[in-house]
Amino acid sequence: MTQTPRFAKRMDGITGSAIRELFKITARPGVISFGGGNPSPAALPDEIVADISRELVAGNGKVLLQYGMTEGLPALRESLVPYIEKEFGVKTTADQILPVTGSTQAFNLLMDAYTDPGDVILTEDPTFLGATQAMALHQLKIVPVECDDEGLKTDALEEAILKYHPRMLYTIPTFQNPTGVTMPLERRKKIAELAEKYDLLVAEDDPYRSLRYTGESLPTIKSFDKSGKVVLMGSFSKVISPGLRVAFMVCEPVLLRKCTICKQSDDLHTANLNQAIVDAYLRRDLLTPHIENISKNYRAQMEEMLSCLKNVRGIEHYTKPEGGLFIFCYLKEGVNATDMLMKAVEKGVAYVPGTYFYPNGGHENTLRLNFSNSDIPTIRRGMALLDECLK
Amino acid sequence: MTQTPRFAKRMDGITGSAIRELFKITARPGVISFGGGNPSPAALPDEIVADISRELVAGNGKVLLQYGMTEGLPALRESLVPYIEKEFGVKTTADQILPVTGSTQAFNLLMDAYTDPGDVILTEDPTFLGATQAMALHQLKIVPVECDDEGLKTDALEEAILKYHPRMLYTIPTFQNPTGVTMPLERRKKIAELAEKYDLLVAEDDPYRSLRYTGESLPTIKSFDKSGKVVLMGSFSKVISPGLRVAFMVCEPVLLRKCTICKQSDDLHTANLNQAIVDAYLRRDLLTPHIENISKNYRAQMEEMLSCLKNVRGIEHYTKPEGGLFIFCYLKEGVNATDMLMKAVEKGVAYVPGTYFYPNGGHENTLRLNFSNSDIPTIRRGMALLDECLK
């Protein structure tokens, strides 16, 4: 265009993910990356998906290649019912489930259907950057709520509810991104109670829960939801493949219908083949052994990184996750992890500065480490380099 | 939820596609359907896609199953460059192309990035219902512009521009949905001129252009665009498979970057495997012979339906498309095609009443016929039933 055009107001101040830009700088050959949140290549079941894809398209291609329903592939909606009960502890029915194109889409649809510009949304502090960008594009007012090593502080949450009259809460209760921490049972119950008491919609984003390496599985917030105020979002990105873009949302039919209408205008429907691949994983009991298999490696990688962290000078505190993909670290007050990053990359190791995950910025002394995408020797080398850099 | 909750203002008056609801009523066993816009099952290349899928995932699964870039699979963006030049007459570069999850998404991203609630958008009258629903969800003011059997009347368009100061025009210039008509060369040129003159963004939706059965191919509006005011949207839904959900948009990099940011929050990226299947179709020259092949059948079906239409009593006028999937019919003034539909279904044939495609309603005497999804004997029988019903 000859002159810089005017864009939609919702684009004001939106520049795209700073982290993605950062990756372009830090992605130098030979640099060990503890940035990113990718599954390990070893965890991606290419051989099985190759065979299943052919089988599904050869056997049912006239259906899978045709237009599908916005509501999702009927077979997948059915197979999600027992899966969601077993894995998320939520008794549901097919008409409360919407397969979506990644849980990013689920959250987007929820904001489309339920929020107006100017509405307040509460989040953990820090929280997932992709979610806050989506909130900003919906012109919501983001109010981060204080967290500790057990996640969202429910007393701070109630205060924020009373003060800001929020429309929604976005939370990642299990192996949170970026901190890796898990909210204990009582807090989960409490959030469901507060949601009912204050008519607050809770978006419970739970993509990591199956990647538990130690400790006992905890019920979802949704499992305590008596008044239909909790929307559960689950994903197959971390347990089968992110490249397939299949996730789901579970909520009351009235709200789900509104989200479905928004999805119709968004992408009409999630690609059928991709839904059918996930359906095959569920129906053939391929998912549980696959998760057990990848969890073995992830557990060893997490334990190795936690063990190395004891000896990294300059890190004052770090979270001790029981699963997921991330560990969050706190440097000395006054040390700037963003400033340190270029030095680290020169030494040969990269991470994500934690400040990006705080909706209001600050917390410059924090950083996020990913352990899923590096094998054990690489973790050892990378952590030694980090120690050299931060000491 | 215990009481009916309040939803987002953008949901006011939005009820989902009336046509989809209609299909549920008309989808009785034994009823011949000229509703819908599905490709013929015979046109869906299940065997080839089955083999390609396996080959792609077996060969490159660690990349295809991993997270991809919002900007699209690099290989597909590259292979789209020569395809778009050859098929759409637009010289472009990879950085002006965004692969998307169906052209529905492309249009949605464009409105996200470029429009604010209350902005005016011009459309053909009638136009594609999915597009008007997406406009309504963006809280745009829809102003339909008069059309004739050569599509959008450019004098009426200029009047509407001067009167309403629109932000955007949405047009389907080739084998339009629902009318099947194609805009001649001079009107295409004129629209590109008006876009530049009045700083109007043109969303050119061109999913049917490769399905030409007679006559000469016409240049896209985009090919006359000197000032970056035209956004071209193309799709593989009608020429490979709608169930794969792969399409693309082409526009100036500054605007494309904004759309890419919106896509990041929308679904992060289009599924890699689906993009790679389309890429394989392009790189292996599978698309051209496939289109030639399906066009043979579609041509015969269209000719048969046009021939039958000469003898359907009660239809006063109908369009004579040179391609695409649809023919549009006008009954006598005062005859109501919606009222007639139940009678037609009882006789054993279904269509879509045209009124749904008019943003302001009315035009009750119109109906849309699809010929791609019925073979020739079925078309003959269905048209005879229609004659019985409308005579």
pLDDT per position as a tens digit, A90-118:
999 999 999 999 999 999 999 999 999 99
Residue A60 lies in a domain: no
Q: Select from A240, A259, A284 the last residue of a domain.
A: A284
How close B343 comes to chain A (CA, Å)? 27
Q: Select from A238, A262, A284 the last residue of a domain.
A: A284
Q: Examine the domain organization and report whether A131 and A181 are in the same domain.
A: yes
Residue A140 lies in a domain: yes
Q: Residues 189 to 228 of A: which have CB under 8 A from any B CB?
A: 227-228
Q: Examine the domain organization and report whether A106 and A243 are in the same domain.
A: yes
Q: Examine the domain organization and report whether B184 and B322 are in the same domain.
A: no
Q: Examine the domain organization and report whether B181 and B322 are in the same domain.
A: no
Strands A366-370 and A352-353 come out as antiparallel
B252 close to B96: Cβ distance less than 8 angstroms: yes
A14, A21, A55, A57: best to mutate for the B interface, most B CBs within 10 A: A57
Using CB atoms within 10 A of its CB, is residue B286 exposed (0-12), middle (13-18) or buried (19+)?
A: middle
Q: Examine the domain organization and report whether B208 and B260 are in the same domain.
A: yes
Closest in B15, B47, B265 to A133, CB measured: B265
* Secondary structure E strands in chain A: 32-33, 97-100, 120-125, 141-148, 151-152, 168-171, 201-205, 230-235, 247-250, 315-318, 326-331, 349-350, 352-353, 366-370
Question: B51 — contact with chain A (CB < 8 Å)?
Answer: yes
Q: Examine the domain organization and report whether B104 and B206 are in the same domain.
A: yes
What is the total count of domains within chain B?
A: 2
B192 close to B231: Cβ distance less than 8 angstroms: no
Classified as helix, coil or strand, B122 is strand
Q: Examine the domain organization and report whether B305 and B278 are in the same domain.
A: no
Would you write out chain B's pLDDT as a tens digit for each of its 391 residues? 445 678 999 999 888 767 777 777 777 888 999 998 899 999 999 999 999 999 999 999 999 999 999 999 999 999 999 999 999 999 999 999 999 999 999 999 999 999 999 999 999 999 999 999 999 999 999 999 999 999 999 999 999 999 999 999 999 999 999 999 999 999 999 999 999 999 999 999 999 999 999 999 999 999 999 999 999 999 999 999 999 999 999 999 999 999 999 999 999 999 999 999 999 999 999 999 999 999 999 999 999 999 999 999 999 999 999 999 999 999 999 999 999 998 999 999 999 999 999 999 999 999 999 999 999 999 999 999 999 999 8
Residue A4 lies in a domain: no
Residue A62 lies in a domain: no
Residue A51 CB contacts under 8 Å (≥ 6 apart), including other chains:
B54
Q: Examine the domain organization and report whether A32 and A110 are in the same domain.
A: no
Say how far apart CA A343 and CA A137 lie, in whole Å. 33
B269:A228 CB<8 A = no
Residue B140 CB contacts under 8 Å (≥ 6 apart), including other chains:
B111, B115, B117, B118, B119, B120, B121, B167, B168
Which of B136, B199, B112, B281 has its CA nearest to residue A3? Answer: B199
Q: Examine the domain organization and report whether A220 and A327 are in the same domain.
A: no
Q: Indicate which CATH number applies to the domain containing A371.
A: 3.90.1150.10
Say how far apart CA A207 and CA A245 lie, in whole Å. 13
Region of B318 (left: φ > 0; alpha: ψ -120 to 50; beta: rest) is beta
Q: Examine the domain organization and report whether B80 and B211 are in the same domain.
A: yes
Does the reported pTM lie above 0.80? yes
- Tell me the CA distances in angstroms from A105 to A114, B131, B333, B337, one per residue in order: 14, 19, 45, 38
Q: Which residues pair with B326 in a beta bridge?
A: B370
Which tokens hold the place of A119?
A: 């509405």
Range of the domain at A13: 9-45+289-390
Residue A53 lies in a domain: no
DSSP secondary structure string for all residues of B14-71: ----HHHHHHHHH--TT-EE--S-PPPGGGS-HHHHHHHHHHHHHHHHHHHTS---TT
Residue A191 lies in a domain: yes
Say how far apart CA B196 and CA B224 lie, in whole Å. 10
Say how far apart CA A231 and CA A318 lie, in whole Å. 30
| Digit-coded pLDDT (tens) for B240-252 | 999 999 999 999 9
Q: Examine the domain organization and report whether A85 and A214 are in the same domain.
A: yes
Residue A61 lies in a domain: no
Q: Indicate which CATH number applies to the domain containing A89.
A: 3.40.640.10
Q: Examine the domain organization and report whether B91 and B218 are in the same domain.
A: yes
Q: Residues 157 to 176 of A: which have CB under 8 A from any B CB?
A: none
Q: Select from B258, B285, B312 the last residue of a domain.
A: B285
Residue B220 lies in a domain: yes
The single residue listed with the structure tokens 């995408």 is: A373
